[in-house]
Structure formats: C-alpha cells, structure tokens
C-alpha cells in the first residue's frame, strides 16, 4: 500500500497506485511537526518505507533518521552523509578530495570576502546555492549567471540577506545537451544497478531543470560517478549530474542527489526500476542484479517542453518540426500515463485554475 504524504497540492495523491494520502506539515517550514506526523503514521497505518522525494523532506528525515528508523524503514542516508550532497559547498570539498573533476568553486561568507574575490574572478560565472531548495523557493531559479562584479554583488547579496548560503562557481561552457545523469543503486559500497542519460532541453535554457531527456550510454561518467558516491558514503539510490566542458570534452561534476530525480520514470521505462529495487532490497533483502537497459528512450515534461519548442520555433532557434523526436519515438512523459490518467488531469486542472486566478487590484 502506498500512502502519499501531502503538504501542498501533490498530484501523486491522485494516482491509482496510491491507497490514500495524509496531510502533513511542510518539512521545510515545520520539520518537528513533519517528523511527528511520520511517527503517528506508524500507529495509524503501521510501519512503512519512508521514501523522501524532495530535498526538503530528505533533509528533515535525514536529520531525524534514528528516531524514524526505530518505527519505519528509511530509504535515505542519515544526516552526516546527506549533508555531503545537500550542502553543495561540502560536495565541492568531497569531489576535490576524491579526485573528481568539478568547476572551481569559492564560498565567500561575508561582503569583505566577496569584495576580495570580485575583481579576481573570470566572468561570466555562476552564483549557486549551497542548498538548492531554499534558493529555488526564494528566487524561482536554480542559480544565477552573472557577467560583472556588480551583478555578482547583487546576486550574492540578495541571498546573503535571506540567510541562504551561496557559492561562486566557474562557468562550464557548452550547450544544454552536454548535461548527463548517472543513476546508481549501491549496496555495501558496490554499485549494483547503473544507468546514464543525456539532457536534450532545459527550462530555462542552460541552467534550468530538464524538460527532455534520452537514455544513452555515456561510459565517461561511470568512474567519476562511482567515485563521488563512494567518497560520500552513499548507500541506496543516487543521481549524479555532470556537464561536458566544450573546451576539452571532459565531464565536470555538477551535483549529487540522494533521492529520486525528476526524470526517474525514464529509468523505469528503460528497464531499471530503481523504486522497486529499493523496496525489494530494504524490505525483502534482495540485492539487485545489474539489469540491462535500453538506449534511445525519451522522457518529456509535457507541460514545460511543449512551450519550449513553441518558443524556439518562433525565435528560429529550431526548424519547424525540429526537436519532435522525443514525441514520436519510444518514451515516457513526466505525468501523462494512459493507464493512470488522474495525476495528469489534476495537473491540468491546477494549471488552468492558476491561469484563471483573479489578479487583485492595486491598493489605492
């Protein structure tokens, strides 16, 4: 039985695979209440497998791992390991020690330190959050590209004033198609199931979230992917993101996620069902046997990617009908599934309701 924990408008609660949903406090705003709700579920629903699917929930579950693991099976690492990938500043330090190539990164903690760096940096560069979900909640983007010292001061300062730690990172040049995902399931330090995929389109372009992805063997990221996961001590599932540097063709580490990633349905469609592997391993003790998987399968965020295609056709960045291959070849959508249509319909209703919401008149 699958129970969806909802602190907002999660559409997964509409799935036919969900036996029900339980409203819980937002883990980012009320972590204590969130943990208390999880503990109550052990009494009302019995012990379960807790699978955090967002950084917010993972951070809270990891911080209370011991108390939750006494009542449930917890499908994420404890806080010590989780901090290595949740805090991108620590990720950068671990990568350097492990010999995994990554962009040069500095983490000024004061305006004085920023000023000492501003005139020595090579622009453009990136201002990236230490904790992605806090930054995205505040600014609606994953990171910001800055072209001048003044832009750097503004981008760093607005995050600093909100108490959000940031890093200043070297820009890795290359098209959005240079992004690669390495997905892995680790048992006792050994990678038991692995898969790679390539990003085709991002929203927004260059530094956004993927809107179209294709499964593809990228052997160059296997060794560094294994190395960073091992250096962090991750057990279970991990998703490692790389970017190919167009200057030398080498892959640079972007970030590590210790939870299901956005395009997770792609792996399932290709033959590597990481959620099922996780459940069978944690509940039944079944150690995964490395499955084969199919190349050339596409994943599409049908709500974002269609708009991206329209914009690029209008701007002349794509020929008419260019970029349609993900829609006409073997693939899977982010939400749309004819066998389970209710989440898609709920998402459509939510989007229509948002677009029709009245705009309040300005105060006089």
Handedness of CA 124, 130, 136, 138 (dihedral sign): negative
Q: Could you tell me whether strands 179-187 and 18-23 are parallel, antiparallel, or unpaired per DSSP bridges? A: unpaired
Contact 260, 266 (CB under 8 A): no
Find out whether the peptide bond into 124 is cis, omega within 30 degrees of 0: yes
Would you call 357 exposed, middle or buried from its count of C-beta atoms within 10 A (0-12, 13-18, 19+)?
exposed
- Token output for 360: 């309040």
Q: Residue 324: count other Cβ atoms within 10 Å of its Cβ.
A: 11
pLDDT tens, per residue, the chain with 364 residues: 788 888 766 788 889 998 888 999 999 999 999 999 999 999 999 999 999 999 999 999 999 999 999 999 999 999 999 999 999 999 999 999 999 999 988 989 899 999 988 878 888 999 998 888 889 889 988 889 999 999 999 999 999 999 999 999 999 999 999 999 999 999 999 999 999 999 999 988 877 889 999 999 999 999 999 999 999 999 999 999 999 999 999 999 999 999 999 999 999 999 999 999 999 999 999 999 988 999 999 999 999 999 999 999 999 988 888 999 999 999 999 999 999 999 999 999 887 766 554 444 444 3
pLDDT in the model for residue 142: 86
Contact 33, 26 (CB under 8 A): no
Q: Residue 254: count other Cβ atoms within 10 Å of its Cβ.
A: 20
Q: Could you tell me whether strands 166-170 and 125-129 are parallel, antiparallel, or unpaired per DSSP bridges? A: antiparallel
Residue 84: closest CA among 282, 215, 281, 234: 234
**Dihedral (C-alpha) 115, 119, 120, 126: value to the nearest 10 degrees?**
80
pLDDT in the model for residue 363: 43
pLDDT in the model for residue 10: 79
Structural domains of the chain ordered from first start: 2-76 (no CATH), 104-170 (3.30.1490.20), 176-333 (3.30.470.20)
Scan for tokens 């991108």, then name that residue: 88
62/68 Cα distance (integer angstroms): 9
């Amino acid at each position: 039985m699958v129970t969806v924990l909802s602190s907002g408008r999660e559409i997964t609660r509409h799935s036919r695979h969900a036996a029900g949903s339980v409203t819980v406090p937002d883990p980012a705003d009320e972590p204590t209440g969130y943990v208390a709700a999880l503990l109550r579920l052990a009494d009302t629903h019995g012990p379960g497998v807790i699978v955090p699917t967002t950084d917010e929930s993972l951070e809270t579950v990891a911080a209370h791992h011991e108390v939750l693991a006494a009542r449930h099976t917890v499908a994420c690492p404890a806080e010590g390991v989780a901090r290595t990938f949740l805090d991108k500043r620590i990720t950068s330090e671990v990568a350097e020690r492990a010999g995994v190539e990554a962009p040069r990164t500095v983490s000024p903690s004061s305006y004085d330190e920023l000023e000492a760096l501003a005139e020595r940096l090579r622009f453009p560069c990136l201002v990236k959050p230490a904790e992605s979900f806090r930054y995205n909640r505040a600014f609606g983007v994953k990171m910001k590209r800055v072209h001048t010292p003044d832009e750097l001061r503004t981008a760093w300062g607005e995050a600093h004033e909100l108490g959000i730690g940031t890093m200043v990172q070297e820009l890795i040049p290359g098209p959005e198609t240079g992004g690669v995902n390495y997905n892995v399931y680790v048992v006792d330090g050994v990678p038991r199931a692995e898969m790679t995929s390539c990003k085709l389109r991002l929203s927004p372009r260059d530094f956004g979230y993927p809107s179209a992805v294709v499964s593809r063997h990228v052997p160059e990221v296997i060794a560094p992917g294994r190395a960073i996961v091992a250096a962090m001590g991750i057990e279970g599932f991990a998703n490692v993101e790389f970017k190919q540097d167009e200057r030398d063709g080498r892959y640079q580490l972007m970030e590590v996620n210790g939870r299901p990633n956005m395009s997770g349905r792609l792996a399932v469609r290709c033959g590597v069902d990481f959620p099922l592997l996780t459940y069978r391993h944690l509940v039944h003790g079944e150690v995964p046997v490395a499955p084969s998987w199919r190349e050339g399968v596409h994943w599409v965020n049908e709500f974002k990617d269609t708009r991206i295609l329209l914009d690029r056709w209008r701007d002349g960045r794509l020929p008419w009908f260019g970029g349609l291959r993900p829609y006409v070849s073997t693939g899977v959508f982010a939400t749309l599934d004819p066998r389970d249509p209710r989440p898609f319909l709920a998402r459509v209703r939510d989007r229509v309701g948002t677009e029709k919401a009245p705009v309040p008149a300005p105060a006089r």
